[in-house]
Structure formats: C-alpha cells, structure tokens
Structure 1
Amino acid sequence: MSAAMRDRTLALAGLLQATSMVRQVATTGETENGFLTASIESVFRLEAETPEAVYGGAGGVGRGLRGLVQQIEGGADPAPARLAFTVLQVERRFSAQPRMMDTIARGIREIDRQREHWGPVHPTVLARLGELYSANISTLRPRVLVQGNPTYLAQPEVVAEIRAVLLAALRSAVLWRQLGGTYWDVLFSRRAIAQAARDWLRQSP
C-alpha cells in the first residue's frame, strides 16, 4: 500500500471523526473529550509537517479510524458519512476562495492565543471557533445541515461546539484534498482505505 493512501486515510478518519462527534453532540449534548481535543487541536496545526502531526499522532483519530472500518464494512450509522460528503463539497468551494481562506487562517491565529491560555476545548475557544465558522463557512453552499435533539440544538454553547467541530471537519477535508484525495478514492478504493485504517489502529496506542 502506498504511503499516500495511508496519509489520505488518516485525513479521511479525521473528517469522519469530526462529523461523528457533530452527530453525537447534536443528539446527546456531549462527546469524548480526548477525541474532541485532538480534532480541535488539528484546526490550529496549519503548519504541521506530517498528517500524523496534524492530529498529534494516529491515536488522536482512533474514533475516526474505527468509524471508517465500520462504514466500509457496514452496520454503522450513515449520518456521519453523509455529513462528511457534504463537508467535502463545501471544502471545494472554500478552497476556491483565497480571501476566505486568509480570513479563516487569520482568525485561527488570533484564537490560538486563547487556546494556549485556556486549552482547545474551553467554552470561549469553542465559541470563537464557532463564530468564525458561522461568519464564513456557513455562507457557502451546500449548507451543512445538522439534525439532532431540539433540546440541545437550542443551547448556544452546544451550537458553538458543533460549529467548532465542523471547522475541524473542514480542516481534515482540506488536508484530504491536499494529499490528493478524491471522490474516486472513496468509491473505488474502499478496501484499501479500510486496510490502511486497520494498519493505523494497530500502530496507535
């Protein structure tokens, strides 16, 4: 298996992990703090040297790697995969707008100071990331429509967290495209992706 496919699988796992957490937060109001931390941290690692470094190691996207295998082999909730495909469509429009990309990068650098002070999943950090997503990415089409429990979706802090995690999903989608990932990979390289995900899982703690 090529190193490129292994790297793309890691980015795809990052995307699926983020969308699965969006789904979980929207329906239950919470998600695993460790994976949430890894996904949010990936937003701030714009200059990482390797895909592994983006997530702080393959273990940072363990949930996404397991989710990839489950999606490919069947039996998994299809909602995170549908969200992931929508985010990939949004990424193509985002990457075609250099001005918006600069705005997002500048905003992330500003929020990074608060992340260093409070940590990546502090409510203030998540709120600011959510605002950055809402003011920019939410204007792109297709809209990413998140379904869940109305009780949680009516809570501003939950909505902010969902938007922050969607920004993490977009970051992984950008990485996927930068590594040469295409829709054809998802359609015709599913077996290779599942094998790469298993390989990463065996290597990660």
Structure 2
Amino acid sequence: MANYSIDNQALAFAAIAQCAKMANDVARRGVVDSDQWQVCVASLVCTDPETVMDIYEPVSDLAAGLDTLIKQLSDSGEGRSIEVTKYIAGIISLSRKLLRNDNALAMMSQRIDQVKRQLHHFTINDEAVISNFASIYSDIVSPLGGKIHVAGTPTHLQQPLNQKKIRTLLLAGVRAAILWQQVGGKRRHLFFSRKAYVKSAKQQLTQF
C-alpha cells in the first residue's frame, strides 16, 4: 500500500491515537466505546486491504481518533494527554522493532490467521478472541523491547479482562503504526507536518 497522501497518514495516525486513548480509558475508567473498539480491533484481521478505508470500516468510527490527533498535535496543546502521548510513542517504537524482525512478523501472521479461523465460531468481541489477541501482544510484540507501562486505576487494571483489552488495543495500535509507516508516515512528520495532519483530521471529521 503506497498511497503517501497526508489524508492517509492522518487517518492511520488517528487509528494509533484512538487505540492509545482507549487503552487509557480502560486503565483509568474501565470503559471502552464498542464502536471505537470494533473498528480498531477488526483491523487486526484485515490482512489484504487495497486502501486505508478498507481497513477501518466504517471510517466514521475513527472520529475519536481524529479528535485525539487534533488534541495531541495542535500547537495550543489544549486537551493533550501525557499518557496518550507516551502510549503513542511506545506503540510507534514497537512497530518499528517489529518491522525489523522477520521472525516476529511471521509468527504474528500465523497467530492472526489462527484468530481469523476462530472468528468462524466467535465474534471479535468474545473474550476468547480478546485473549488470543492479548497473547499475541504479550508473546511476540512486547518482548521486542521498550515495554509500554500503562498507568491507571488499580481496581480497573487488576481485572484480567481489562488487562487483555489493553494488550489487544496496544496490538491494534501497533498494526495502525505499521500502516502509518506503509503510507509514508515518519516520526519527523509529528514535528514538521503537525499542522498538515491537524488540518486533514479536521477536514475528515466534517465528512462524517
């Protein structure tokens, strides 16, 4: 996928931001919006897309991510979250390490294929499926280094299902970060193209 448009980069970055925001929501409040969850987690089993839009369907469910992008990258800093910033940075770092590790990529592909077969019998929101996604993150991605430490409310963080949801969201974030790089996204763009990303995000939000 080689469409290097700012709109595609902004949308892929919005998906990273949405995963980071939701991970923070689960950790802090123990809640997650079902539509926002669905569009991000379903991207993990979309392995042969032709466009970015194919991965995130409906794209309107990335509205929270586009809004988070605006808050995180705007010059004003209004509404910016330190935790979300930290998670986004960690997700991008892990994605770069994953892309350089062919063995890890092959293992991840095999495990994702197993989940796709599992989805013949379960929905993507089933705890068994969430457990499998979470274990992919724990077994393959997290050991690559730069472990992401998620802070939150102990009563929520101690719940096993919430732990699995957070790992699943981080995995979906890594998937989005790989996509972001595939469409030309680079870390320097978060400094030098911030205004272009924010402008694109605002324009895309008006289309929903």
Note the C-alpha offset of 1:60.
2.5
Q: Is the 8 A contact 2:73 2:190 kept in 1?
A: no
Work out which of the residue numbers 159, 164, 179 in structure 1 matches 2:183: 179
Q: Does 2:5 match 1:10? A: no
Q: Is the 8 A contact 2:14 2:62 kept in 1?
A: yes
Paired with 1:30 and 1:70, the residues of 2 have a C-alpha distance of 21
Query: Gaps (5+ residues) in structure 1?
Result: none
Q: Does 2:142 match 1:141? A: no
**2:156 aligns to what?**
152
Paired with 2:70 and 2:156, the residues of 1 have a C-alpha distance of 29
Identity %: 26
Query: Gaps (5+ residues) in structure 2?
Result: none
Note the C-alpha offset of 1:162.
0.6
**1:200 aligns to what?**
204
Paired with 2:128 and 2:59, the residues of 1 have a C-alpha distance of 27
Q: Per-residue CA shift, 1:58-93, capped at 9, x if unaligned?
A: 213111001111222322222112210111111111
Q: Per-residue CA shift, 1:138-167, capped at 9, x if unaligned?
A: 102111111111111111111111101111
Work out which of the residue numbers 62, 75, 80 in structure 1 matches 2:78: 75
Structure with the largest fraction of helix:
1
User: Structure 1 length as normaliser, TM-score?
Assistant: 0.95
Label 1:3 to 1:93 Cα distance change in 2 as closer, same or farther (>3 A).
Answer: closer
Paired with 2:68 and 2:121, the residues of 1 have a C-alpha distance of 32
Paired with 2:82 and 2:151, the residues of 1 have a C-alpha distance of 13
Aligned to 1:92, the other structure's residue is in SS state: helix
**2:110 aligns to what?**
106
Paired with 2:202 and 2:24, the residues of 1 have a C-alpha distance of 23
**2:65 aligns to what?**
64
Q: Is the 8 A contact 1:52 1:58 kept in 2?
A: yes
76-85 or 142-151, which deviates more: 76-85
Paired with 2:125 and 2:199, the residues of 1 have a C-alpha distance of 32
Label 1:118 to 1:84 Cα distance change in 2 as closer, same or farther (>3 A).
Answer: same
Q: Does 2:107 match 1:86? A: no
Q: Is the 8 A contact 2:13 2:180 kept in 1?
A: yes
171-180 or 3-12, which deviates more: 3-12
Label 1:75 to 1:125 Cα distance change in 2 as closer, same or farther (>3 A).
Answer: same
Note the C-alpha offset of 1:3.
6.2
Tell me the number of residue pairs that the alignment of Structure 1 and Structure 2 aligns. 203
The Cα RMSD (Å) is 1.3
Q: Does 2:121 match 1:120? A: no
User: Structure 2 length as normaliser, TM-score?
Assistant: 0.93
Paired with 2:144 and 2:102, the residues of 1 have a C-alpha distance of 14
Label 1:29 to 1:68 Cα distance change in 2 as closer, same or farther (>3 A).
Answer: same
Aligned to 1:68, the other structure's residue is in SS state: helix
Q: Is the 8 A contact 2:41 2:172 kept in 1?
A: yes
Paired with 2:200 and 2:12, the residues of 1 have a C-alpha distance of 12
Q: Which runs of 4+ in 1 moved over 3 A?
A: none
Q: Is the 8 A contact 1:13 1:65 kept in 2?
A: yes
